[in-house]
Homo-oligomer: A and B are copies of this chain.
Amino acid sequence: MLVAALAAFSPAVAHAASDAGGHGGTFPLLFFFLAVMLLFARIGALAERVGQPAVLGELLLGVFLGVLAWVPGLGVIETLKHETLVKDIAEIGVILLLFRAGLESNIGEMARVGKNALFVALIGVAVPFATGFFASQMLLPGLSTNVYLFIGATLTATSVGITARVFKDLGTSKSPEAKIVLGAAVIDDVLGLMILAVVSSIIKTGSLDPTQILVISAKAFAFLSGSILLGRFLSPRISALFSKVHTGHGMKMAIAFIFCAGFAYVASLMGLAMIVGAFAAGLVLDPVHFKDFLPPAIVTRLRAWASSHPQMEARKEMEEHAEHEEHAHVENLIDDISRFFVPIFFVYTGLQVNLSVFGDVKIVGVALVITAIAVFGKLVAGLAAGKGMNRLLVGVGMVPRGEVGLIFANIGRGLGVVDDRLFATIVIVVILTTFVTPFALSMIAKKARASA
């Protein structure tokens, strides 16, 4: 199995190994390239230091890594970025990302925010879809209807991760506005996955066959709601299983992982994207069901000490530590490996942006107009937030497309509807909507506080 490692011994062997179907001879370089991608991702994540989401930095560093291919001697980057192993690892990354999104989505809480969040979500899907579809027809005439459909679909996304993070940083994650935005973002995830299934199906069958659309919508709906129902039923049992597992973190990770992979596989058998399955698996393993998930004995100890300790500050820190130990486990089951795979997905996406298209003024222009449409659509959605709400805050909170938009772009690329130019356009839209949100949100929040 170490053919690859050893292949480097002699060019002849290397050649033979790579002829034999593997990427034998290039494996050492490929492995190093993965490490470089990981390092670039971490450097990109420093964006958080300047109040920007990590995903933005990871994406930009990916673009930068792509630019490095132009440096004499680094042309090999151009080859490496198309290697199967790099693609596969990025793909595992996006699956784990959606699994985590599912784990973080709390159905109970979603139901509680209820009607208002649902309205915001539905309008936030319908308006960007419709405006994106029609506007792109005007902006980019003469393309296939599929392309316009796909642009519309991409604009429906809301990145729950980025929004949640910003609200948390602002210290307003318990506000009614934050709850609506987060609830709506989760519903958007679900709707987005369904739209993705339908649009992909249309593109592949090549026709807008209403029966086909109905079938695929029904499947996606059945799969997701079935998973949720199954989750309600199974979770207490899984929870009991987990609390019996005392063999450390590894076994729990493996169980979570096989849930994720199993659901992703079943989804693919049903003709849905694997990420739909991974998201559903995350819903099934909903953290709230893990109340009796056994925390390490140390937690009880920490608690006991914290309560008996007189110094307030120290006590608080200890309680937080205990809290962290106790609650971190379920969501973090997958974190350890996500920390490797997920950043590589974002760098990979940035890497696929062909920077030469930016020389084309038209593309940049189109990207700016589509960004404006993307912002507009979500601001309209904010109007549905209900009485007494800061509707602007809700609307702006829905703006960032983040990773969800990128997933759409990647899938569209795979389907052949999104070419280099459109891919770059979508990446610009994602970057701008994601970049603008933290600033805008904090300004609006401060203004609201000042006038309150």
Residue-wise, chain A 381-418 has the 8 Å CB interface mask toward B (1 for contact) of 00000000000000000000000000100110111000
**Of A155-163, A251-259, A361-369, A438-446, which stretch is located at the interface?**
A251-259
Residue A328 lies at the interface, judged by CB distance under 8 Å to chain B: no
Residue A112 lies at the interface, judged by CB distance under 8 Å to chain B: no
Chain A positions 2-43 with a Cβ under 8 Å from a chain B Cβ: 2-6, 8-10, 13, 21-23, 27-29, 31-32, 34-36, 38-39, 41-42
Between A1, A261, A414, the greatest number of chain B beta carbons within 10 A of the residue's beta carbon is seen for: A1
Residue A104 lies at the interface, judged by CB distance under 8 Å to chain B: no
Smallest beta-carbon distance A199→chain B, Å: 11
Counting contact residues on chain A (CB < 8 A from B), the size range is 35 or more
- Is A414 in contact with B2, judged by CB distance below 8 angstroms? yes
- Is B36 in contact with A258, judged by CB distance below 8 angstroms? yes
A200 to B9, CA, bound (A): 9
Residue A264 lies at the interface, judged by CB distance under 8 Å to chain B: yes
Given A28-B268, A258-B36, A414-B2, CB of A250 within 8 Å of CB of B91: no
Given A9-B200, A257-B39, A414-B1, CB of A28 within 8 Å of CB of B265: yes
- Is A264 in contact with B32, judged by CB distance below 8 angstroms? yes
Residue A125 lies at the interface, judged by CB distance under 8 Å to chain B: no
- Is A250 in contact with B339, judged by CB distance below 8 angstroms? yes
Residue of B nearest to A28 (CB): B268
- Across-interface contacts of A34 in B (CB, < 8 A): 261
- Across-interface contacts of A92 in B (CB, < 8 A): 31
- Is B28 in contact with A274, judged by CB distance below 8 angstroms? yes
A309 to B308, CA, bound (A): 11
Residue A94 lies at the interface, judged by CB distance under 8 Å to chain B: yes
Smallest beta-carbon distance A105→chain B, Å: 20
- Is B257 in contact with A2, judged by CB distance below 8 angstroms? no
Residue A168 lies at the interface, judged by CB distance under 8 Å to chain B: no
A255 to B343, CA, bound (A): 14
- Is B265 in contact with A204, judged by CB distance below 8 angstroms? no
Residue of B nearest to A274 (CB): B5
**Of A66-74, A178-186, A314-322, which stretch is located at the interface?**
A314-322
26 A-B residue pairings within 8 Å (CB atoms): A1-B348, A2-B414, A4-B87, A5-B95, A6-B411, A6-B415, A8-B269, A22-B87, A23-B84, A29-B265, A32-B264, A32-B265, A34-B261, A35-B260, A38-B257, A39-B254, A39-B255, A45-B247, A45-B250, A84-B84, A85-B88, A249-B339, A301-B317, A305-B305, A305-B318, A336-B339
